[in-house]
């Protein structure tokens, strides 16, 4: 059944390793930028709230493929941007894909965290302000720690979606799993077995992630 699987010709493990690397870098960047967006969404400064609201609504409703292609054609080929280049540890297409995933996924992280922030009793923030804490201190010391614990489950869904969304990076030639699958299908003409193989590969990545983080969500859930 798997006569087509020539590991000397097709770097299957390398392709899935690239998928994992895309996920890890994009997840970390999305968590940082998404947290900043969530903070701006609840900020007392109107211009910051407006910026974050517009950003989330615009990029969350923009097709991911369009963002990835824009990063390649618009930022790189048209504007000449190459992002970070020190050491050239990763190919340019990989870095552009990570940027696109961060821009897109951070919007879902921000909304998940904002829903977590809304579960924190208002009285806690009011009590903190009453003893002289600033907005940043209230957010960082009281609200966000509880919001993160509440948002583990929705953030898990965002991470699983990100793992599957990494296949879009094939649109700009990043050598991840989806690009290798397309190459193998074109060369070997074995559609069903190859599709099953890669579907199982993605299940190996997503199912344990969901199970482990689901367990974490139950362990850290805020008891109210």
| pLDDT mean over 39-57 | 93
Longest dimension (CA), the chain: 70
Q: Let me know: does 37 contact 106? Beta carbons within 8 Å.
A: yes
More confident residue, 195 or 221: 195
Domain presence at residue 184? yes
Distance CA 199, CA 193 (A): 10
Q: How far apart are CA 177 and CA 16, in angstroms?
A: 5
In a domain, 27, yes or no: yes
Say which CATH number the domain at 31 has: 1.10.3720.10
Does residue 33 fall inside a structural domain? Answer: yes
Please give the average per-residue pLDDT across 207-212, as a whole number: 93
Q: What is the mean pLDDT of residues 198-209?
A: 91
Sign of CA dihedral 58, 62, 68, 72: negative
Domain assignment of residue 5, yes or no: no
7 in any annotated domain: no
Cα separation of the two ends of the chain: 54
In total, how many domains does the chain have?
1
pTM: 0.87
With H, G, I as helix, E, B as strand and everything else as coil, classify residue 62.
coil
Inside any domain, residue 32: yes
| Residues 43-70 as b or e (16 or more Cβ within 10 Å = b) | beeeebeeebeebbeebeeeebeebbbb
Q: How confident is the model at residue 187 (pLDDT cuts 50, 70, 90)?
A: confident
Examine residue 6 and state whether it is found in any structural domain, yes or no.
no
Cα torsion 140, 143, 148, 151 to 10°: value is: -150
Residue 86 banded pLDDT, cuts 50, 70, 90: very low
In a domain, 152, yes or no: yes
* pLDDT surpassing 80 at residue 121: yes
Find the domain containing 23 and state its range. 12-220
163: number of CA atoms within 13 Å, CB side? 20
The better pLDDT of the pair 69, 110 is held by: 110
At residue 5, the pLDDT reads 65
């Amino acid at each position: 059944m798997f006569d087509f699987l020539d590991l000397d010709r097709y770097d299957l493990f390398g392709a899935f390793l690239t998928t994992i690397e895309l996920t890890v870098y994009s997840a970390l960047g999305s968590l940082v930028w998404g947290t900043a967006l969530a903070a701006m969404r609840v900020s007392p400064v109107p211009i910051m709230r407006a910026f974050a609201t517009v950003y989330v609504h615009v990029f969350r409703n923009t097709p991911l493929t369009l963002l990835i292609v824009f990063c390649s054609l618009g930022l790189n080929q048209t504007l000449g941007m190459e992002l970070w280049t020190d050491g050239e540890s990763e190919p340019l297409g990989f870095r552009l894909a990570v940027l696109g995933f961060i821009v897109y996924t951070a919007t879902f992280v921000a909304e998940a965290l904002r829903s977590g922030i809304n579960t924190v009793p208002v009285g806690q923030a009011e009590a903190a302000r009453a003893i002289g804490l600033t907005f940043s201190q209230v957010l960082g010391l009281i609200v966000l720690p509880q919001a993160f614990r509440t948002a583990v489950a929705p953030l898990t869904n965002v991470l699983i979606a990100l793992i599957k969304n990494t296949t879009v990076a094939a649109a700009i030639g990043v050598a991840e799993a989806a690009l290798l699958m397309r190459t193998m299908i074109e060369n070997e003409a074995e559609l069903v077995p190859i599709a099953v193989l890669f579907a199982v590969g993605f299940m190996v990545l997503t199912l344990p992630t969901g199970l482990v983080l689901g367990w974490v969500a139950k362990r850290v859930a805020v008891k109210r």
